[in-house]
Chain A
Amino acid sequence: MRHLVRRFLFYTFAVWVAISLDFFIPRLAPGDPVAAIVGKMSMKGYVSPQMRDTLASMFGLDTKDPLWVQYFKYLDNLLHGNLGNSIQYFPTPVGQIIGRDIWWSVMLGGVAVLISFGLGCLIGIVTAWKRGTVLDTIFSPIMNFLSAIPYFWLALLALYVFSYLLSWFPLSGGYDDANIDLGWSLDFIGSVAQHAFLPALTLVVSSLAGWMLMMRNSMIITLSEDYVLIAKAKGLTERRIMFRYAAHNAILPNITGFAIAISTIVSGQLLTEMVFSYPGIGYALFQAVSGQDYAMLQGIFLIITLAVLGTNFLADMLYAFLDPRVRQEGSR
């Protein structure tokens, strides 16, 4: 448990770093950002004094408070869940918009990650066990190829082929909001599934290969260990050797890899949402960038960071559960 406590403290430190970055980056931006933004925004419409004030306060230009006071006010705001107001959707609080969008991302991402990690590991285990057979010689090169294709290009292609050319799937959105109401009706669920299918598919296809290859390599190395040979010498069933002796050990570096890859997974998801105009956090981020909604940008960054760190911690807990060696040591 000492190990997990240390990890938790580390993550808390990382959160603090992220928050501080969020605070300092706008104040480090060169030039007069408020004027520039207001300038651009007034071309699109009226800029109210309140909006101007919000902008100014974000960049720390409105108060005579010294920097450190502003910092503590900022931290205080955060602790109360106040992420500021969106500029695009003024005066809606950022937190509200994120709260609405995040569920779409969690659903899409959660399902996609579980499927791709689970399936990838399973295929990796089996192809390593049956290395050199037909199954392996077919799968491995395909996987190698797939792992090199960039997420969002695959997404673009998929969208083009399946939605535009074949019209099997809708071109955008989370559900058919023109005809169906938000709510737990069968129509709604069906529509959600239909809209989520293609993004989920591209996410799974492009990340599956990575997990599979990592698991396969790890498994191949584990299979040459002495304890696997002893397991075979013991006359145990193939399944037991494959899973309890080999895979259980081989998956450990994969879990570490998963923790490290979370950041990449999140980026991939963000880009996929942007391509599919899927109403999750990624799409909101995209709109925030093009709309120069800095408050939204920073808010989303913080939430994503929290989610990533949280998932990292979960992965740490899973690892400690699976590997008894780690439970006693302070750190590896």
Chain B
Amino acid sequence: MSNPKVMIGCAIVGFFMVVGIVGPFFMTSNPNATSHLFITPPSPAHWLGTTVVGEDIFSQLVYGTRTSVFWGLGTSLMVMVLSVLVGLVGGYFGSWVDDVLTLLTNVSLVLPALPLAIVLAAYFPRGPLTISLVIVFTNWAWQARVLRSQTLSLRSREFVMAACASGETTWRIIFYEIFLNEIGLVVAGFVSTTIYVVLTWAGLEFLGLGDGTIPSWGSILYWAQQAGALPSGLWWWFVPPGACIALLGAGLSLINIGIDEVVDPRLHIERAAKVAKKQKEVT
């Protein structure tokens, strides 16, 4: 895919993934190691300065990348698996199964996700697994709805009826005929969901609902807020993690926009229109 937006997006996401995988091996300082250098600005020894208890912010950022990116992707994967199951089963089987699943989906869609996530996370033991499960529980509905409507339209197409008539087993039909035809939608959904998951994760951590001892972009922001970094002007503490979140989000968005443009030809009539404008025309 030679679409420049997709390429830039992939480059950005790839960058973060690489940092997440190999970055910590290059870090000499333990992100949780305290020192006596409290709240120092960036210096050769500590590229992004230190926190209120002397931890090195840069190493926190690098370790945090691993947590944020991979938990983000993993959670997003779980969300997609659940959405696909609900969407495909509901869309394919119809009747009361679909009615029940649709009702559940609609209720889940309409209940405000973040407040519910906050309530859930507050009561259960702190940690990435809790946050992950909470996010999955509150966010599966959107993609489920999208996939269900696509499944519905595919189900009535001739090739599915032909497969039924030729005696294919149900799960084979669901998987090979329908799911594989929706794979583009699923991939685009995965990318959108990841953006949302990463943002929500950071939001929940920022509120202090995560395990503060495990570094992640959101938890860095939490500690920064607790220490009053903003009113004290400690920009090196709260700007980098937010920038990482924004950048990763932007990268994922670009991938999505690129996919959209390739898939929906109506949106890229612009190129042809520009060509037409260059030549003399009467319209």
Contact = CB atoms under 8 A, between A and B. Distances in A.
Contacts of A160: 230, 233, 235, 238-239
Contact of B114 (A159, A220, A267): A267
A39 to B, nearest CB: 15
A267 B112 contact: yes
Contacts of B199: 150
A156 interface: yes
A286 B243 CA distance: 23
A311 B67 CA distance: 36
Contact of A312 (B110, B206, B250, B274): B110
Contacts of B239: 157, 160
B231 A171 contact: yes
A186 to B, nearest CB: 29
Nearest to B120: A25
If over half of B's interface residues share one DSSP class (helix, strand or loop), that class is named, otherwise mixed; here it is helix
A153 B246 contact: yes
A274 interface: yes
A270 B114 contact: yes
Contact of B245 (A33, A132, A153, A266): A153
A153 B110 CA distance: 26
A156 B229 CA distance: 11
A148 B253 contact: yes
B260 to A, nearest CB: 9
Interface size class of A (residues with CB under 8 A): 35 or more
Nearest to B203: A271
Interface stretch (A7-15, A177-185, A246-254): A7-15
Contacts of B230: 156, 159-160, 164, 171
Nearest to B142: A260
Contacts of B231: 164, 171
A63 interface: no
Contacts of B267: 217, 220
A308 B98 CA distance: 25
B118 A266 contact: no
Contacts of B202: 150, 152
B242 A132 contact: no
Nearest to B114: A267
A274 B114 CA distance: 13
B215 to A, nearest CB: 17
Contacts of B174: none
A301 B199 CA distance: 20
Given A148-B253, A156-B238, A308 B118 contact: no
B107 A267 contact: no
Contact of A153 (B103, B123, B233, B242): B242
Interface string B209-251: 1000000000001000100001101010011001101100110
Given A150-B242, A159-B230, A160-B230, A305 B106 contact: no
Contact of B249 (A28, A148, A294): A148
A263 B110 contact: yes
A17 interface: yes
A26 interface: yes
Interface of B: 103, 106-107, 109-116, 118-120, 122-125, 142, 195, 199-200, 202-203, 206-209, 221, 225, 230-231, 233, 235, 238-239, 242-243, 245-246, 249-250, 253, 257, 266-267, 269-270, 273-274, 277
Kindly list the 9 A-B residue pairs having the minimum CB-CB distance in the complex, ordered from nearest: A267-B114, A153-B242, A29-B123, A148-B250, A263-B112, A148-B253, A148-B249, A308-B112, A304-B115
21 contacts: A13-B107, A14-B107, A21-B119, A30-B124, A131-B273, A132-B274, A145-B250, A148-B195, A149-B246, A149-B250, A153-B242, A153-B245, A160-B233, A171-B231, A263-B111, A264-B113, A271-B206, A290-B208, A297-B119, A301-B118, A308-B111
Given A132-B277, A267-B203, 10 more contacts: A11-B110, A17-B107, A149-B250, A150-B242, A153-B245, A156-B221, A164-B230, A262-B112, A271-B206, A298-B119
